[in-house]
A and B are shown apart, each in its own frame.
Chain A
Amino acid sequence: MESRQATTGTAGRQPRSAVGPLTPTGGEHAVTVEHLRKHFGERVAFEDVSFAVGHGEVFGFLGPNGAGKTTTVRTLGTLLSPTSGSATVAGIPVSAENGPEIRSRISIMPESPGLYLRLTVMENLECFAGLYELNDVRGRIDRALRAVNLEDRAGDQCGSLSKGLRQRVALARALLNDPAVLFLDEPTSGLDPVASREVHGLIASLRERGVTIFLTTHRLEEAERLCHRVAILNTTLRMIGRPDELRDQLFSRSLDVRVRTPLQDPNAVLGGLPGVEGWKKLPTGYALAVSDPELAAPAVARALVAAESDILSIAESRHSLEDVYLELINEDVEAKSR
């Protein structure tokens, strides 16, 4: 299967800082990537990856373990040098020379919070405020802690915090420099459902404030809920678009029809209805391939009533992002096994 790529996309909003004044980024996109490739010796981490992330967009980067998500983030964050290809982050071309400048304009929250556990929350943030050479250190720390609802834990030693709270401290740390692009690498990895929900809430609030977020995850419901667009990576970029676009690209639209008793002659009832392109029998009814569910559904209902069939339900079948993801990853698995 050919990889489906796109290089445009924006949430259509102007960027606004999460915790402070606007950070100028320049350029049409917050991130652009063109044919980027990274090898470690013979091992391919990712290759021929191209996409663009708009200002203020929440961009989901999905893929199984080992797909190259974290390596992509590290490459865009100038921690690793690309093997080939090009990219710009916050309007600056990615290169070793531009590393310090790019890193001053972005933030990356790694999968592991990486806090100094013997230091307090405040001391951790003070250290990073110094590393970013920030002015008004106390004000910025206060705003970052407020953004993650941790104002009352500033004096706590990080080692005494739960995993979820540590993740929130790491998020506060990532917000300190008002990043033009915030990279979140598996932000809910290893968190329980309650802590995950809290982190989701924080990301959603950042999204509402117009922060450009690059979110890597393998939690599909997380991406579906939080992201304007998603890209699915499995060493190469497999698909990119809004979750509903991906569903439409990969799956035909259909109606699930449930009736009390099977139709005596389904072809006579369902065949030839406007918008209906075909049907197949299911244990509890029929699955109808349709071109336009809004046109087909009333026609199907009328036809079933005319055939004196007891209708239990008529509903458009919804494919989740998980269906899209599994379909693509299965394609890759099958392609490798051939």
Chain B
Amino acid sequence: MSFSWTRVRAITVKELRDYRRNHFVVATMTVLPLLFIVLPLIQVFDAYAHVDSSNLNLHVGLSMLYMLVIPAFLPSTLSAYSVVGEREQGTLEPVLITPIRPEEFLVGKALAAFVPTLVIAYLVFGIFLAAAGLFAHPAIASAIYAGTHVLVQLLFTPLLAGWGIWIGIAVSARSTDVRVAQQLSVLGSVPLLAILALMSLNVIAVSTGLAVGLAAALLAVDLLAWRAVAAMFDRERLITGSHA
């Protein structure tokens, strides 16, 4: 039996339906993005009055960093629940009884976290860009649109989300407690966010080439992570708590 997108779709659709009716998930997906659009906008609108023009780029970078928190942390909390949560609710065994392969199950789970994250993150970024372009001081708007800020944001949003998702699923597949899985998966996203913080704050001078190179490396890591997490997926341990 080969890889089946029908089975992947079944898992993704089920997950999205479940998210939609889960008040906790809806609240998280609403409040977190709201928080991380309001804070950078305040910072951007306030910047010209208080910030030295030489530090403007740094200030803009900091406000953009807020928005990378969305793809870094939003999917990791969702994906941390993906395996251990189903196991706790007793819904994992009926799924594992079907012909589904670990790779299909994991891709289905990953897409269910990836799609809404990407939609929300790009929507929030779009609103930020529009608001900055329309209402911020032209010097600030120019600092936002110029340079590599937009490129970094566009390139790294999906890749950061992918990293957070695979870390979350990996932890979830090995954990026995949802709360522990969520804490560990959020921690797992911090190192990558730290690198992006250094780039956003110009500690690491970002050229277009460096951004694209890092993005390609992260894409490779995300793909390898999928295979690694699939290899870690042990049906027997997930069902009985013991190894084969």
Q: List chain A positions with a Cβ less than 8 A from chain B.
A: 40-41, 71, 74, 77, 79-81, 99-101, 103-104, 107-108, 110, 112-119, 123, 126-133, 170, 173
Tell me whether A119 and B98 are in contact (CB under 8 A): no
Q: Are A131 and B93 in contact (CB under 8 A)?
A: no
| 23 A-B pairs (CB sep. < 8 Å) | A40-B242, A71-B240, A74-B239, A74-B240, A80-B236, A101-B1, A103-B99, A104-B99, A112-B93, A113-B90, A114-B92, A114-B93, A116-B14, A118-B22, A119-B21, A126-B10, A127-B13, A128-B94, A130-B10, A130-B13, A131-B10, A131-B98, A173-B94
Q: Name the one of B6, B14, B91, B235 contacting A79, with C-beta atoms under 8 angstroms.
A: B235
Decide yes or no whether B101 CB sits under 8 A from chain A: yes
Decide if B244 is an interface residue (CB 8 Å cutoff): yes
Main secondary structure of the interface of A (DSSP, over half): mixed
Given A104-B99, A119-B14, A119-B18, does the pair A81, B7 have CB atoms closer than 8 Å? no
Which residues from A are CB-within-8-Å of B100?
100, 131
Q: Indicate if B96 sits at the interface (CB-CB under 8 A).
A: yes
The answer to whether A40 touches B240 (Cβ under 8 A) is yes
Say how far A99's CB is from chain B's closest CB, in angstroms. Answer: 8
Give the contacting residue for B99; candidates A100, A114, A116, A118; CB below 8 A. Answer: A100
- Tell me the residues in window 23-48 of chain B with beta carbons closer than 8 Å to chain A beta carbons: none
Residue of A nearest to B96 (CB): A79
- Kindly identify which residue among A74, A100, A119 contacts B17, using a CB–CB cutoff of 8 Å: A119
Q: How far is the CA of A71 from the CA of B242 in the complex (A)?
A: 12
In the complex, what residues of A have CB within 8 A of residue B98's CB?
A: 103-104, 128, 131-132
| CB–CB A110/B1 < 8 A | no
A80 to B244, CA, bound (A): 7
Quote the shortest CB–CB distance from B14 to chain A (angstroms).
Answer: 4
CA of A81 to CA of B235, assembled, Å? 10
> Please, how many angstroms separate the alpha-carbon atoms of A112 and B87 in the complex?
12
The docked-state distance in angstroms from the alpha carbon of A185 to that of B113 is: 33
Q: Is the CB of A110 within 8 A of B97?
A: yes
Chain B residues with Cβ under 8 A from A116's Cβ?
A: 14, 18, 91
Q: What residues of B have a CB within 8 angstroms of the CB of A79 in the complex? A: 93, 96-97, 235-236, 239
| Contact between chains at A101 and B99 (CB < 8 Å) | yes
Contact partner of A132 among B92, B99, B101, B236, CB < 8 A? B99
Secondary structure class of chain B's binding surface, majority of residues: helix
Partner of B236, one of A81, A110, A123: A81
How far, in Å, is B50 (CB) from chain A's closest CB? 47
- Complex interface: chain B residues within 8 A of A41 (CB): 242
Name B10's contact: one of A99, A115, A127 (CB within 8 Å).
A127
User: Assuming A100-B1, A101-B99, is B236 touching A114 (CB within 8 A)?
Assistant: no
How far in angstroms is the closest Cβ of chain B from A314?
52
Pairwise interchain contact A131-B7, C-beta atoms closer than 8 A: yes
- Contacts of A113 on B, CB cut-off 8 Å? 90, 94
Establish whether residues A133 and B93, one from each chain, have CB atoms under 8 Å apart when the complex forms. no
* B29 to A: closest C-beta gap in Å: 15
- Give the 6 A-B CB pairs with smallest separation, nearest first: A130-B10, A131-B98, A118-B21, A104-B99, A100-B99, A127-B14
Q: Contacts A103-B98, A119-B17, A133-B4: A81 and B244 contacting too (C-beta < 8 A)? A: yes
Q: Which chain A residues border B6 with CB–CB below 8 Å?
A: 130, 133
**With A and B bound together, what is the CA distance between A116 and B9 in angstroms?**
16
- Chain A residues near B91 (CB-CB < 8 A): 114-116
Q: B244 to chain A: which residues have CB within 8 Å?
A: 80-81
Q: Is the CB of B94 within 8 A of A114?
A: yes
User: Once the chains bind, are B18 and A108 in contact (CB under 8 Å)?
Assistant: no
B95 is an interface residue with CB less than 8 A from chain A: yes
Query: B97 to A107, Cβ gap below 8 A?
Result: yes
Interface pair B97/A77, CB less than 8 Å apart: yes
Do A110 and B99 touch (CB < 8 A)? Answer: no
Shortest Cβ distance from residue A242 to the other chain B in the assembled complex, whole angstroms:
29
Instruction: Give chain B residues whose Cβ lies under 8 Å from the Cβ of A129.
Output: 10
Nearest-Cβ distance from residue B150 to partner chain A, whole angstroms: 38
B59 CB, min distance to chain A CBs, angstroms: 43
Tell me which of A40, A110, A130, A132 contacts B93 (CB under 8 A).
A110
Q: Smallest Cβ distance from A12 to chain B, in angstroms?
A: 29
Q: Is the CB of B99 within 8 A of A80?
A: no
Taking CB atoms, residues of chain A closer than 8 Å to B96 are: 79
CB of A62 to closest CB in B, whole Å? 22
List 13 other contacts, CB 8 Å, given A80-B244, A114-B92, A131-B100.
Answer: A74-B239, A77-B97, A104-B98, A108-B97, A114-B93, A115-B91, A118-B17, A118-B18, A118-B21, A130-B13, A131-B7, A131-B95, A132-B99
What's the least CB distance linking B241 to chain A, in Å? 9
**Could you tell me the distance in whole angstroms from the C-beta of A266 to the nearest C-beta in chain B?**
58
Considering the complex, give the chain B residue whose CB is closest to the CB of A81. Answer: B244
Do residues B90 and A123 form an inter-chain contact, with CB atoms below 8 A?
no
Which residues of the other chain, B, contact A115 by a CB distance below 8 angstroms? 91, 94
**Across the interface, do A123 and B14 meet the contact criterion of CB distance under 8 Å?**
yes
- Chain B residues lying within 8 Å of A114, measured Cβ to Cβ, are 89-94
Most A CB within 10 A of own CB, among B10, B18, B99: B99
